[in-house]
Amino acid sequence: MEFSELIRTGRAQAELLRGPGAPPLRGTLCVTGHHLLLSPGPQATSDLWLLLLRSVDSIEKRVAGDSGTITLRCKDLRVLQLDIEGVEATLDIARSIEALSSLESVITSFPFFYRPKGLRLGDAWHFHPPEHYYKRVARETNAWRLSEVNEDFSVCPSYPRAVIVPRAVDDDALARSARFRQGGRFPVLSYHHAPSGTVLLRSSQPLTGPQKRRCAEDEELLRAVLAGARPGARGFIVDTRSAQAAKQARMTGGGTEAKAAYPGWKRLHRPMERGRPLQESFVRLVEACGDLEQSMDRWLSRLEGCRWLAHVKEALSTACLAAQGMEREGACILVHGAEGTDSTLLVTSLAQLILDPLSRTMTGFQELVEREWIQAGHPFQLRCAHSAFSHARPKHEAPTFLLFLDCVWQLGRQFPLSLEFGEGLLLALFEHAYASPFGTFLCNSEKERCLCEVRTRTHSLWSGLNQPKEQRKLRNPLYVLNPLAIWPSVEPQSLRLWQGLFLRWTRPPEPSEAAWEKVWQIVTDKEKTEGSQPTVSASEPQP
């Protein structure tokens, strides 16, 4: 397919309004295969303005007289307005943007064409292969092994080719356990908590069905987990559905672990919202935040009515529960809901941030996102196809990953020194998850990424972000290594609206940026003086 078929017009004169704070831009507007470009006249000094078409969430056009207006609502929640000369030109440009921004083919998407200077293809993809995390686990315990039973993605299409499993369980048993779990997602290790010698596992629901089927290998697998931890160890299964919902799932072939079948394991239900209600909550919140016209006397109850903060609270407290089980009760934890690709990952990744100081470093957090979200098979392409502005009825969209980022932001707010990265990284991950020139968040699973050759034909976001010039935006200059667990307060008055994201384009950002800049100044001054003599500060983390 040729992009040129979809481009209805070459160029037009336009003025771009970018919201409060940014001056309007005038120039020649141009649509290309992947971008919307505005090049200011030759006398202007400012740069070319460029928008990735993929980041357009919804488009609205109006014509009046001999000109038109296009309103672009972007996936990063920005709202842009283009005033265009000529009715035909307006309509043509609108149609082109509509067609190009909704292309579904992965291999014609921009990451396959993006060739930034200074980065080499394939550079950073091998930063975080499953082997990398396994090496760490193997240093801490001998009870686990790296299995390649899924090497060709036939056992579980949404798992990576290698997963960490109990040493005592062989690949055949794994394959049989996989047949007993939805989508083949048999229990695998998510995190080994060395201080208490316990583990965090994740899976999908067991396919017990109305007949309450059992699977000996699945039971054996969980028994081996407890045996590998320490004699007499207990386990908790954190089911992210209500007891009733879990029971109902039996009617459609799913279900939960029967108590008698899994001695030593106890089931806990912590219902978490997912799917459409979560997406609707996101849409309502963005609507409320963008509603500048209406009187805002009822803002607080409207904010409460959006239920977004309630979801933040649910996610954080379920993660606390899992983390508490490992740290304080010395228990092993298995987390699953139904498919095990959404709220499950939310809980396991947050629990690790709470417990594991390494996951709070810059590289550790990137590894966590790579391992617990991307390689763990969170279907990014389906979930992030549209953001909050789309008029289309949501099919598979859900802001689970954004909810994760919001929870991390809350942790960072409550523990301002304990995360090595700052709000900048979280904002970047949000943007790139929804639309990106990099290949990291493309596709729904490792299998698909493999088929599309994403790893060899696109650049990794991590190489983009880890360039020295990006660091100031992404790092937390106040960071000090905190070896302890960070237990967040989940009481409502401790949780805030993430203004930096939800009010990002409507508030003046300068004052807080000034404070940030000041801290950076002092840190770079310090590092400069440090750099010129051999001593190393004790507070610097040594990975």
Question: Of residues 224-253, which lie at the interface with other proteins (CB under 8 A)?
Answer: 236
Closest CA to 389 of 58, 31, 29: 58
* Distance (Å, whole) CA 121 – CA 123: 6
Residue list 119-178, contact with other proteins (CB under 8 A):
none
CB nearer to other proteins: pick between 34 and 447? 34
DSSP 23: P
CB nearer to other proteins: pick between 242 and 252? 242
Q: Which stretch binds other proteins (CB under 8 A): 60-68, 239-247, 389-397, 523-531?
A: 523-531
CB nearer to other proteins: pick between 252 and 524? 524
CB nearer to other proteins: pick between 153 and 498? 498
* Distance (Å, whole) CA 141 – CA 143: 6
Closest CA to 240 of 214, 202, 212, 197: 202
Residue list 461-480, contact with other proteins (CB under 8 A):
464, 467-469, 477-478, 480
List, in sequence order, every beta strand (DSSP E) within 159-260.
163-166, 188-193, 198-202, 235-239
CB nearer to other proteins: pick between 191 and 498? 498
Angle formed by the axes of helices 362-369 and 343-355, nearest 10°: 160
Minimum distance of other proteins from residue 427's CB (angstroms) = 11
Residue list 491-510, contact with other proteins (CB under 8 A):
491-494, 496-497, 499, 503, 507-508
Minimum distance of other proteins from residue 72's CB (angstroms) = 11
In three-state form (DSSP H/G/I as H, E/B as E, the rest C), the secondary structure along 80-115 is: EEEEEECHHHHHHHHHHHHHHHCCCCCCCCHHHCCC
Residue list 417-446, contact with other proteins (CB under 8 A):
417-418, 431-432, 435-437
CB nearer to other proteins: pick between 168 and 478? 478
Q: CA-based angle 114:426:317, to the nearest 5?
A: 140
Minimum distance of other proteins from residue 50's CB (angstroms) = 5
Cα end-to-end distance, the chain, whole Å: 47
Instruction: Give the contacts of 104 (CB within 8 A, at least 6 positions apart).
Output: none
Minimum distance of other proteins from residue 347's CB (angstroms) = 12
Minimum distance of other proteins from residue 510's CB (angstroms) = 9
CB nearer to other proteins: pick between 102 and 506? 506
Minimum distance of other proteins from residue 509's CB (angstroms) = 11
**What mask, x for binding other proteins by CB under 8 A, covers residues 285 to 304?**
----x------xxxxxx-xx
Residue list 311-330, contact with other proteins (CB under 8 A):
317-318, 320-321, 324-325, 328-329
The phi, psi pair for 297, rounded to 5°, reads -60, -30
Closest CA to 39 of 6, 13, 69, 71: 13
Give the bridge partners for 52, in sequence order. Answer: 35
Q: Which stretch binds other proteins (CB under 8 A): 96-104, 113-121, 149-157, 340-348?
A: 113-121
How buried is 231 (Cβ within 10 angstroms: 0-12 exposed, 13-18 middle, 19+ buried)? exposed
| Residue 532 in the binding site for other proteins (CB under 8 A) | yes
| Residue 536 in the binding site for other proteins (CB under 8 A) | no
Q: Which stretch binds other proteins (CB under 8 A): 92-100, 278-286, 446-454, 522-530?
A: 522-530
Instruction: Give the contacts of 262 (CB within 8 A, at least 6 positions apart).
Output: 219, 222, 223, 235, 237
Minimum distance of other proteins from residue 177's CB (angstroms) = 26
CB nearer to other proteins: pick between 393 and 469? 469
Closest CA to 402 of 424, 439, 433, 359: 433
Q: CA-based Rg of the chain, rounded to a whole angstrom?
A: 25
**What mask, x for binding other proteins by CB under 8 A, covers residues 76 to 95?**
x-------------------
Residue list 13-52, contact with other proteins (CB under 8 A):
47-52
Residue list 325-384, contact with other proteins (CB under 8 A):
325, 328-329, 331
DSSP 362: H
Closest CA to 308 of 452, 165, 501, 465: 501
Give the bridge partners for 58, in sequence order. Answer: 73
Closest CA to 214 of 251, 258, 279, 149: 258
Helix runs in 120-252, H state only: 130-140, 171-179, 216-229, 243-248
Minimum distance of other proteins from residue 100's CB (angstroms) = 16
CB nearer to other proteins: pick between 173 and 355? 355
* Distance (Å, whole) CA 286 – CA 301: 15
CA atoms within 13 A on the CB side of 32: 14
SS3 353: helix
* Distance (Å, whole) CA 448 – CA 433: 16
Residues near other proteins (CB under 8 A), total: 88
Q: Which stretch binds other proteins (CB under 8 A): 140-148, 176-184, 391-399, 518-526?
A: 518-526
CB nearer to other proteins: pick between 1 and 536? 536
CB nearer to other proteins: pick between 147 and 458? 458
Residue list 50-69, contact with other proteins (CB under 8 A):
50-52, 55
Q: Which stretch binds other proteins (CB under 8 A): 150-158, 210-218, 250-258, 533-541?
A: 533-541
Residue list 251-280, contact with other proteins (CB under 8 A):
268, 270
CB nearer to other proteins: pick between 50 and 216? 50
Minimum distance of other proteins from residue 507's CB (angstroms) = 6
CB nearer to other proteins: pick between 236 and 380? 236
